[in-house]
Amino acid sequence: MMSAVSPRRPSPRKGFVLSMHVVTWNVASASPTVDLSDLLQLNNRDLNLDMYIIGLQEMNSGIISLLSDAAFEDPWSSFFMDMLSPLNFVKICQVRMLGLLLLVFVKYQHLPYIQIISTRSTPTGLYGYWGNKGGVNVCLKLYGYYVSIVNCHLPPHMANNNQRLEHFDRILESQTFEGDDIPNILDHDLILWFGDMNFRIEDFGLLFVQDCVTRQYYRELWEKDQLFIAKSHDPLLREFQEGALLFPPTYKFDRHSNNYDTSEKKRKPAWTDRILWRLKRQPQVSPLVSSLPTSYFSLTLKSYVSHMMYSISDHKPVTGTFSLELNPLMAVPLITIMPEYLWTMENDMLISYASTPEFLSSPWDWIGLYKVGMRHINDYVSYVWVGDNQVSFGNNPNQVYINLSAIPDTEDQFLLCYYSNNLHSVVGISQPFKIPHRCYLRDDEVCEPELRWE
């Protein structure tokens, strides 16, 4: 029975550690035609990731492409799901605004501890009416902590630095939330902000910048980076942290090569693609203290790199891998699906579950049956409305039936997930199990095979 969090990687001071991988990439209308294993660090056996946060800019946003993506899954989302779902990652959020796309994937074990609070799109192009520039974001509660994630595309060109900073502020100011119990974004425990920010390198000429890049003298260029300069005099921007830029500028390349712009324009290389974060101020923890305070949330950057091997765009993708240590404020799921009470009878499965006292159910809550390796929350093989199919009321455990007649006999592993309409999130999940082959009986026979838990 999954009744509490069992941290897979506890720290010496008993913190719960999650590993997150953040991707930002201006794909310049390209399709996902290459192997992205390196981008997603799938070949790194030392990593045991819990969460992927992926932000793309300049996806194909032509009218035909947008109509197709509205009717079907867009190619990039489908491509990432194809790669990550076999590894037990589930897409929990997708926010799209023209060429901007934000995706969040988590290992399914974490689903009951993540609530989607809000999603939002903030257009800043054409005086705030066009979404070719701007930001998309999701606000979620992660083990009880508020986390805001923003993918942005800011105005281009060297001369538009003030406009970039203005759009940064405008996107931040637009993050208001309904409900008195949701704090202002600046009071959230973590803001992850990334994208094609379009900041350029000032003063230095093209040949000097190219020479520094060739010699890997990146420090000489940092001091003239517009974002670095802006942080020195903007108090709010100064609160956002970034890793050291120890990789070549990620813009602008000739497509299908690692050569910087050889066109007539010969644009100067720049670190346009960035990953920033801002932590809410935490109380100082003495290394002599053996345990962490009740509320503790700390983020550590483990890797900040570009990926030169990808050349389908004029930008190189950038990734940041983080270690998030926290003391869970939410350690017990709102719904516990109880394996000892799960039975199949002919074509029905009896599901028993218990809820915490603070959980507010809705008539629109439902329980879905999924194959392990599901792509997203609507990827169920069967579901049941809790309110319409409940066979016991007011007691724990509650019980409902789900019909299995449409499910073929298979050796696949399955999961049950309880979806809360009020919270727009999964609030309970079973352990993986196999459904035994159904019995075909005479009228006077009884068959009640118990589910086999893995």
Rounded Cα–Cα distance for residues 136 and 389 (Å):
38
Specify the pLDDT at position 285: 59
Encoded amino acid at 350, one letter: L
Residue that is last in its domain, among 268, 299, 326: 326
Q: How confident is the model at residue 404 (pLDDT cuts 50, 70, 90)?
A: confident
Shared domain check, 436 and 344: yes
Shared domain check, 378 and 242: no
Whose tokens are 């606000």? That residue is 139
Whether 133 is in a domain gets the answer yes
Rounded Cα–Cα distance for residues 58 and 96 (Å):
11
Out of 3-12, 160-169, 343-352, 399-408, least confident range: 3-12
Look at the chain and count its residues.
454
Per residue in 129-138, pLDDT (tens digit) is 556 899 999 9
For a pLDDT cut of 90, what percent of the chain falls above it? 69
Out of 3-12, 90-99, 113-122, 305-314, least confident range: 3-12
pLDDT score of 304 more than 50: yes
Per residue in 44-87, pLDDT (tens digit) is 988 999 999 999 999 987 666 656 556 558 999 999 999 999 99
Specify the pLDDT at position 319: 98
Cβ–Cβ < 8 Å for 95, 136: yes
Cis peptide before 252 (omega within 30 of 0): yes
Whether 6 is in a domain gets the answer no
Q: How confident is the model at residue 441 (pLDDT cuts 50, 70, 90)?
A: very low
Residue 31 sits at the vertex; the CA angle it makes with 199 and 121, to the nearest 5 degrees, is: 55
Highest mean pLDDT (candidates 16-20, 66-70, 128-132, 348-352): 16-20
Shared domain check, 354 and 253: no
Nearest to 276 by CA among 299, 296, 253: 299
Cβ–Cβ < 8 Å for 226, 318: no
Specify which residues 333 forms β-bridges with.
Answer: none
And the tokens for 77? 């989302």
Whether 7 is in a domain gets the answer no
Which tops the pLDDT comparison, 341 or 211? Answer: 211
Q: Give mean pLDDT, residues 337-348.
A: 70
Specify the pLDDT at position 366: 96
Nearest to 101 by CA among 150, 139, 144: 150
3-state SS string for 224-264: CEHHHHHHHHCHHHHCCECCCCCCCCCECECCCCCCECCCC
70: Cα separation from own chain's centroid? 21
Q: Give mean pLDDT, residues 278-301.
A: 75
Specify the pLDDT at position 2: 39
Q: How confident is the model at residue 294 (pLDDT cuts 50, 70, 90)?
A: confident
Q: Give mean pLDDT, residues 209-226.
A: 96
Rounded Cα–Cα distance for residues 344 and 65 (Å):
45
Q: What is the CATH number of the domain that holds 258?
A: 3.60.10.10
Whose tokens are 């637009």? That residue is 174
Whether 353 is in a domain gets the answer yes
Nearest to 191 by CA among 236, 235, 246: 236
Please count the structural domains in the chain.
2
Shared domain check, 344 and 321: no
And the tokens for 318? 């950038």
Specify the pLDDT at position 427: 97
Shared domain check, 381 and 281: no
Half-sphere exposure of 448 (CA within 13 A, CB side): 5
Specify the pLDDT at position 4: 42
- Which is it for the CA torsion 355, 357, 360, 363, positive or negative? positive
User: Measured in Å, how far apart are the chain's first and last C-alpha atoms?
Assistant: 12
Out of 27-31, 269-273, 443-447, least confident range: 443-447
Q: Give mean pLDDT, residues 145-173.
A: 95
Q: What is the CATH number of the domain that holds 389?
A: 2.60.40.2840
- Which is it for the CA torsion 201, 205, 210, 212, positive or negative? negative
What are the backbone angles phi and psi of residue 253, rounded to the nearest 5°?
-110, 150
Shared domain check, 114 and 52: yes
pTM, entire model: 0.90
Q: List Cβ neighbours of 314 (8 Å cut-off, separation of 6 or more).
A: 26, 28, 251, 252, 253, 254, 255, 261
Shared domain check, 358 and 318: no
* Continuous segment of H or E residues that includes residue 210: helix 206-214
Shared domain check, 370 and 449: yes
Shared domain check, 304 and 353: no
Specify the pLDDT at position 288: 55
Specify the pLDDT at position 6: 43
Encoded amino acid at 112, one letter: P
* Continuous segment of H or E residues that includes residue 84: helix 75-84
Specify the pLDDT at position 5: 44
Cβ–Cβ < 8 Å for 338, 397: yes
pLDDT score of 312 more than 80: yes
Q: Which domain holds residue 189?
A: 16-326
Residue that is last in its domain, among 326, 349, 374: 326
pLDDT score of 167 more than 80: yes
Per residue in 365-403, pLDDT (tens digit) is 999 999 999 999 999 999 999 987 676 655 567 888 888
Shared domain check, 318 and 202: yes
Shared domain check, 371 and 247: no
Cβ–Cβ < 8 Å for 39, 310: yes
* Continuous segment of H or E residues that includes residue 214: helix 206-214
Specify the pLDDT at position 338: 82
Per residue in 142-151, pLDDT (tens digit) is 999 999 999 9
Whether 81 is in a domain gets the answer yes
Whether 5 is in a domain gets the answer no
Whether 11 is in a domain gets the answer no
Secondary structure (3-state) at 168 = helix
For a pLDDT cut of 70, what percent of the chain falls above it? 82
Whether 208 is in a domain gets the answer yes
pLDDT score of 419 more than 90: yes
Specify the pLDDT at position 410: 74
Looking only at the bridges linking them, the beta strands covering 398-403 and 348-355 are antiparallel
Residue that is last in its domain, among 294, 326, 358: 326
Specify the pLDDT at position 442: 47
DSSP 391-422: EE-SSSSEEEEEE-TTSPP---EEEEEEEETT
Specify the pLDDT at position 440: 46
Shared domain check, 196 and 165: yes
Residue 45, class by beta-carbon neighbours within 10 Å (0-12 exposed, 13-18 middle, 19+ buried)?
Answer: exposed
Specify the pLDDT at position 438: 54
Rounded Cα–Cα distance for residues 330 and 352 (Å):
22
Torsion of CA 101, 107, 113, 118, to 10 degrees: 10
pLDDT score of 351 more than 60: yes
Which tops the pLDDT comparison, 400 or 228? Answer: 228
pLDDT score of 421 more than 60: yes
Mean pLDDT of the chain: 87
Per residue in 248-281, pLDDT (tens digit) is 999 999 999 999 999 999 999 999 999 999 999 7
And the tokens for 294? 């009740």
